[in-house]
Structure 1
């Protein structure tokens, strides 16, 4: 094990070199303090530990406490206590919150192109429309729909993520963090993880369908719709059209439609089973296809939610606490924490660098 100073550890953290931090004698101490590094939290911690910060600038709190006489046990005790105080409040409110989340009946960004609402407004409205009346009409129509979709989806993602994080943090093998800090959501056996709740990626599913010889899903859907005389609208973008046609064929009682849907679902289930049997490929895919603006190489725990009866409804699983708790706790109970299983190496094409980290993945498959 190495014995690095604060500056060296901080540099490693900023450069996404988690293996080097974890192999240092004080690396976990650094990461636990880093996970509570907001100035208000550190001030509170210092008061409880009888540590004087009067002559220390806020930007130096972290370094000062890291290098202080405070023991690792004191750090652990404080974090556990703070988490329990926060958790009691959320626990008392959880039934209400889950009830509110269940009132959301669709997950639609409203044409805002994912979560890039501001860019959408500037590129497609501000810079293209010259008429005052026309832009007002758009605000009352498509733009209002985009704003509603963006806000509701963001609200849903935020609160379901907190519920899922609490499921992890309530497990005895998991050590919590205090507040929201980038790159670390919790520790499992003193290994830090950033939780990523996600779904099986559509782009990868598309590629895998083609590799299996199935072809293009939208093309296939159009073909079966023409065969069954199901109307194909011309005013929808490909992603929305694919979902729309799938739902129409899925609801069609004719044998040809039933056979088509069964065959398509069978291919998708097989692809997900293959990923589950060989998770390293999917873990690498997630790292290598993350957004450039939010890139990091932190240790990640991927929670992949799939509603196998209809993948488009996988978002609903994020609020199914009973289902989530059973599966997550079962996984945590049986985790071996084998470094060879968790070791992940991926290539970041933007900088032509290879990164090494630890990651785990849990497939949560649901079928009525």
Structure 2
């Protein structure tokens, strides 16, 4: 039985993207949903001689869904629209990448992504009683933090667009040209949400514990004391780990160098294991996503790894040539189907999705 527009909307409202994508009508619905801006829908309609003069904007989506415009025609217009929009971005891309390379530090300034309002309210609005003291905090702390927050947000925004375009330009990929929840593109008719990330510190901790290895931070603190290296008291554990790793690795004594080499070798071995079998990392990434952003959508995790300095992996987001090579190799080698069947738990409930990991590694000469 054909999927009606009302049924498709209900599935979409329940976030059952895989349920939609599993049928021809549902896949067609998702394609049209990604084109739901009025000008795009009107372009499809007019291109197929549909009279939409009497059709209201709110019902145009349903009107086209109920028409006889086939899936291939919709895919074709999507590629045409993307090509037009991509030409504009491509013209400015070389300059943009040059600007991104000016970013020398990636520091949110304590104003964590997706919690800006909460951080300001909790740390300033609700705590400070003096107007003069509030102004002092703004000048001495908040403006500096805001500067870091805006820079990091800017960097993430534009590097994400560049990386998405790399995927969308590949012949196996059909772009989602408009905003459609949990879908950045389709790979051989399967919808995927793209997540760009790095080797997760939490995953490293778990794997070291499973392998009987002591925590990295513990080992680095011990060596810092032996080598009379100052251990900052006000750093978070994540910042302290990166700091001590760098300082210990710079020491000339054999013990420090041996420890740094051992920690680096373990991480490289872990990346090798993930490359061979990413299932455990996929499960960890789903089960450790932020509560506010939880979903079980199909995902491609692009994991960027700077093997010279794991804590500088953020710099690879602007390395278009390296990322393009990794994405192309992955898509070219996946000639039939994309994604691994994944099962994970969230708050006691089991979820299923399709997901995969693309590892992009870089070792500086």
**Divergent runs of 4+, >6 A:** none
Higher RCO (CA 8 Å, separation ≥ 6 residues)? 1
| 1:239-270 Cα distance to aligned partner (Å, 9 max, x none) | 22222211111222221111010011112222
Query: For residues 346 and 38 of structure 1, do their structure 2 counterparts lie closer, same or farther at Cα, with a shift above 3 Å needed?
Result: farther
Query: For residues 292 and 46 of structure 1, do their structure 2 counterparts lie closer, same or farther at Cα, with a shift above 3 Å needed?
Result: farther
Query: For residues 83 and 255 of structure 1, do their structure 2 counterparts lie closer, same or farther at Cα, with a shift above 3 Å needed?
Result: same
Query: For residues 87 and 331 of structure 1, do their structure 2 counterparts lie closer, same or farther at Cα, with a shift above 3 Å needed?
Result: same
Contact conserved, 1:83 with 1:176, CA < 8 A, in 2?
A: yes
Give the aligned partner of residue 86 of structure 2. 87
**For structure 1, which segment, 99-108 or 239-248, has the greater mean C-alpha deviation from structure 2 after superposition?**
239-248
| 1:38-76 Cα distance to aligned partner (Å, 9 max, x none) | 334323433333333344443332222111122223212
2:108 corresponds to 1:109: yes
Give the aligned partner of residue 218 of structure 1. 217
What CA distance in whole angstroms lies between the structure 1 residues aligned with 2:92 and 2:38? 27
Give the aligned partner of residue 133 of structure 1. 132
Give the aligned partner of residue 168 of structure 2. 169
Contact conserved, 1:225 with 1:249, CA < 8 A, in 2?
A: yes
What CA distance in whole angstroms lies between the structure 1 residues aligned with 2:126 and 2:256? 44
What CA distance in whole angstroms lies between the structure 2 residues aligned with 1:179 and 1:159? 17
Give 1:134 shift: 1.4
2:362 corresponds to 1:363: no
What CA distance in whole angstroms lies between the structure 1 residues aligned with 2:251 and 2:50? 69
Give 1:287 shift: 1.7
Contact conserved, 1:115 with 1:150, CA < 8 A, in 2?
A: no
Show the 5 A alignment for 1:9-24.
9-24=8-23
Query: For residues 338 and 78 of structure 1, do their structure 2 counterparts lie closer, same or farther at Cα, with a shift above 3 Å needed?
Result: closer
Give 1:232 shift: 1.3
Contact conserved, 2:326 with 2:359, CA < 8 A, in 1?
A: no
Give 1:106 shift: 0.8
Give the aligned partner of residue 199 of structure 2. 200
Give the aligned partner of residue 343 of structure 2. 345
Query: For residues 310 and 170 of structure 1, do their structure 2 counterparts lie closer, same or farther at Cα, with a shift above 3 Å needed?
Result: same
Give the aligned partner of residue 237 of structure 1. 236
Instruction: Give the aligned length.
Output: 364
Query: For residues 294 and 60 of structure 1, do their structure 2 counterparts lie closer, same or farther at Cα, with a shift above 3 Å needed?
Result: farther
Contact conserved, 1:347 with 1:355, CA < 8 A, in 2?
A: yes
**Structure 2 residues not aligned, in runs of 5+:** none
What CA distance in whole angstroms lies between the structure 1 residues aligned with 2:217 and 2:115? 25
What CA distance in whole angstroms lies between the structure 1 residues aligned with 2:18 and 2:114? 32
Query: For residues 256 and 313 of structure 1, do their structure 2 counterparts lie closer, same or farther at Cα, with a shift above 3 Å needed?
Result: same
Give 1:101 shift: 0.4
Give the aligned partner of residue 275 of structure 1. 274
Contact conserved, 1:3 with 1:25, CA < 8 A, in 2?
A: no
Show the 5 A alignment for 1:236-255.
236-255=235-254
What CA distance in whole angstroms lies between the structure 2 residues aligned with 1:309 and 1:131? 47
What CA distance in whole angstroms lies between the structure 2 residues aligned with 1:8 and 1:281? 35
2:190 corresponds to 1:191: yes
What CA distance in whole angstroms lies between the structure 1 residues aligned with 2:51 and 2:82? 24
Give the aligned partner of residue 350 of structure 2. 354
Give the aligned partner of residue 69 of structure 1. 68
**For structure 1, which segment, 123-132 or 175-184, has the greater mean C-alpha deviation from structure 2 after superposition?**
175-184
So what's the TM-score if we normalise by structure 2?
0.94
